[in-house]
A and B are shown apart, each in its own frame.
Chain A
Amino acid sequence: MQSKARIYADPPLHSDQFDRIPDSIVLLILNKVADVRALGRCSAVSKRFNFLVPLVHDIYVKIDRVVTVDGDPSDESLNLSSPKPRNLFSHLLKLVLFTILKPFHHLRNPSSGNKPLLPQLSHHSPAQVLKNFTQIRNLHIELPAGDVGTEDGVLLRWRAEFGSTLQNCVILGGTPIDRKSNLFDQDPFPAAEDSGSIPESFYTNGGLKLRVVWTISSLIAASTRHYLLRPIIKNHPTLTSLVLTDSDEQGTLSMGAEQLREFREKPLAASASANRTQVPASNMKLRYAPYLELPGGIGMQGATLVAIRPSAEGSSAGAAVASSGGGVSNGGGRKEAEAFLNSSFDGPFRAAVKMLLKRRTYLLEMNGF
């Protein structure tokens, strides 16, 4: 090790000083930057940064807007404010491009003087934007909004895990109300009515039908997101964690290392419409409470928890029976399933899941679609 004694003047930082910072530090910092647009800017700062940025492991992509491709005359008019799930899905199904500032647009090119100084808004898919990164391990993509439209005041949250296909999904839905401003002086659903079972009114007033719609909509949203990830998974064999969320915090799709490996090894089954992954035949466990008191001063009306798992092949646990207690399930997977449910949501919704898990379970069977 050299032991020259040198005395430096105080800042500014000279380039030879900066060179002494090892690459591992620069990479450490770039990994914490994570945001793909900021990284794009960094790659234009110096040759060295330009070399290091593509090696970053942890990347976060925030998508500003979602646009559709031109030209298909059979497009329905897309009304994003419509609460009907179907319109939103055809919108998603035709989705190809995303609007995102192209991160590598800023590479300085002194020879072409007419390059604009301001970044241009151009359409690029996440797969294109990520193309230059060769070592991604942890990828988090955030969509601008949730995919499932619901009626005013209704809250819907879903979380799904996928390998080649759906492995696990949990959906929580209901109408949150502010307990403090509750117009009723008493509990709107007196305890006497709440025997733990689903009341008859649930079936007659459209409650069950609505929840089936929530469930199917969420599964379509999840499987569409999964299908959209194909090129990214294909182009980045170093991926060990992939998470796709939205800024409304409605839905979370996640794939871990094992699941990504399964995806690569087993071919993908696309559904008939070929724009989303096939949802396999599944067992659904539904739990319902007309009213829940949650921590933080809120309550939830019509709280529903639906837990979905693909049916085991040849399992005899498939009859659509209203069962009590824990329902029918294979013993080994049960602890994992419960752990998944308990950790899926945060805050008051985690408490809601806990409360709903204590209620009676209704088992439903669903074909693949």
Chain B
Amino acid sequence: MASYERRKVTLKSSDGEEFLVEEAVAMESRMIRYMIWDGLAGDVIELPGVKGKFLSMIIDFCKKRVAWAAGGDGTLEGLKSDFVKVDLGTLIHLSAASFCLKTNDLVDLTSQTLANRIQGKTIDEICRALNPEE
């Protein structure tokens, strides 16, 4: 069992980008964790619901969080606030990606941040930021 932490797995985004990560990092995603536990994951896990750009950001956060939990420096709050220092559009995508991957605390973090940002804005500001269909 000790060797499983070192095992690596490849995560493949919807647009074909591949990321080689340690299993421990990948398992921050509940979806991936259950796939691995149930023996449904091969060496490459396809994630059709998540684009490479956002998958990369989430993987980056998970790597940092695993390192922090193992006794790294910095604070979890700091990690989280850095994660959400992005524009509104990216934040929405990160929220959807976290939801897809079932990294629940990222879902809460991104949706709360989004809610806080929407709170203070006028309609036009929200529209411009989201650029929705008319």
Contacts and interface: CB of A to CB of B under 8 A. Distances in A.
A32 interface: yes
B22 interface: no
Interface string B94-134: 01100100000001000110111011111100110011111
Interface residues on A, range: 35 or more
Given A3-B14, A42-B118, A45-B127, A18 B92 contact: yes
A21 B100 CA distance: 10
B39 to A, nearest CB: 20
B15 A5 contact: yes
A14 interface: yes
B131 A18 contact: yes
A13 B89 contact: yes
B111 A25 contact: yes
A46 B133 contact: yes
B117 to A, nearest CB: 10
Interface stretch (A33-41, A172-180, A228-236): A33-41
**Which secondary structure dominates where chain B touches chain A?**
helix
A15 B133 contact: yes
Interface residues of B, number: 34
Interface in A7-48: 7-8, 11-15, 17-22, 24-25, 28-35, 38, 41-42, 44-48
A8 B16 CA distance: 12
A22 B122 CA distance: 23
B114 A29 contact: yes
A20 B131 contact: no
Contacts of B77: none
Nearest to B122: A41
A2 interface: yes
Given A1-B48, A15-B131, A29-B114, A41 B126 contact: yes
B130 A13 contact: yes
Contacts of B134: 46
B132 A11 contact: no
Contacts of B75: none
Contacts of A7: 15
A106 interface: yes
Contacts of A5: 14-16
A32 B126 contact: no
A33 B99 contact: no
B38 interface: no
Contacts of B81: none
A33 B115 CA distance: 5
Given A5-B16, A21-B93, 17 more contacts: A7-B15, A12-B131, A13-B89, A21-B96, A25-B111, A28-B111, A29-B111, A33-B115, A38-B118, A38-B119, A38-B120, A41-B122, A41-B123, A44-B123, A45-B127, A45-B132, A48-B133
The 3 closest A-B pairs by CB, nearest first: A32-B115, A46-B132, A13-B89
Interface of A: 1-3, 5-8, 11-15, 17-22, 24-25, 28-35, 38, 41-42, 44-49, 106
12 contacts: A8-B51, A12-B89, A13-B89, A13-B92, A18-B130, A21-B96, A22-B96, A29-B95, A38-B118, A38-B119, A45-B123, A46-B134
